Amino acid sequence: GENVEQHPSTLSVQEGDSAVIKCTYSDSASNYFPWYKQELGKRPQLIIDIRSNVGEKKDQRIAVTLNKTAKHFSLHITETQPEDSAVYFCAASMRTTDSWGKLQFGAGTQVVVTP
Amino acid sequence: GAVVSQHPSWVICKSGTSVKIECRSLDFQATTMFWYRQFPKQSLMLMATSNEGSKATYEQGVEKDKFLINHASLTLSTLTVTSAHPEDSSFYICSFRAFINSPLHFGNGTRLTVT
């Protein structure tokens, strides 16, 4: 099955700086890679996702890059703000017409943005 | 975006009792649903997957007789933790996918504490 590794486990950045979280996956058949943000005690919320036919996707201060050959993808947050402080999870799944598309999550990265 | 309502948000029960958690999709019909469990400061671990009207498929290591899942309609799924023990204390989160290529949407989660 799919195995997703995520680094770093914790990340402390100064407000205004950039934050980068990296994930690797093991199953070359995986073709969908979402990122979730989870605040303490709350549900994970989808912040951005990318499919394997795209190398990069951007949404305001958030961007995700995908390298299919190396089987890794990264989340980039620019101009970080205190409200970006949360746990971020990467995930991977294989999505086909007859697949349930189960998500395999990384271990999570605790991001702390200090003013 | 898709709305998923999960109840209760928290529950405290005595060891040996059973607890039912409900998850409803409010604005779409969910053919596939997933139940996740999250221990403190850990990642989301998939417990089981089910399609409406079918038996759930459980992940390795998850006891199907202990965690009863019912997905009787396109808008309601329930998870019953039977004969709960303190080690079952966790954050349980349901998630639905509206259709095969749509993102996964999570309920608000249920914090279960077994005393």
Residue B108 is nearest to which of A43, A97, A101, comparing CB atoms? A43
Chain B neighbors of A103, CB-CB under 8 A: 34, 46, 104
Per-residue pLDDT of B18-55, as tens digits, reads 999 999 988 777 778 899 999 998 999 999 988 777 88
Mean pLDDT of A88-103: 75
Instruction: Check whether B104 has a pLDDT greater than 90.
Output: no
Rounded to the nearest angstrom, the minimum Cα separation between B28 and chain A is: 17
Average pLDDT, chain B: 89
Q: Which of B51, B103, B107 sits opposite A46 (nearest CB)?
A: B103
State yes or no: pLDDT of A96 exceeds 60. no
- Which helix H or strand E contains A10, and what residues bound it? strand A10-14
**A45 class by beta-carbon count within 10 Å (0-12 exposed, 13-18 middle, 19+ buried):** middle
What local confidence, expressed as pLDDT, does residue A94 receive? Answer: 73
The pLDDT tens digits for A34-93 are: 999 999 989 999 999 998 888 999 999 999 999 999 999 999 999 999 999 999 999 998
Has residue B73 got a pLDDT over 90? no
B55, B98 Cβ separation under 8 angstroms: no
> Given this model, what pLDDT does residue B27 score?
79
| Least Cα separation, residue A43 to chain B (angstroms) | 5
Q: Taking CB atoms and an 8 Å limit, are A44 and B93 in contact across chains?
A: yes
**Structure confidence at residue A81 (pLDDT):** 97
Collapsed DSSP state (helix, strand, coil) of residue B86: helix
Contacts B97 to A, Cβ<8 Å: 100-101
Sheet (strand B67-70) strand order: B4-7, B19-25, B76-81, B67-70
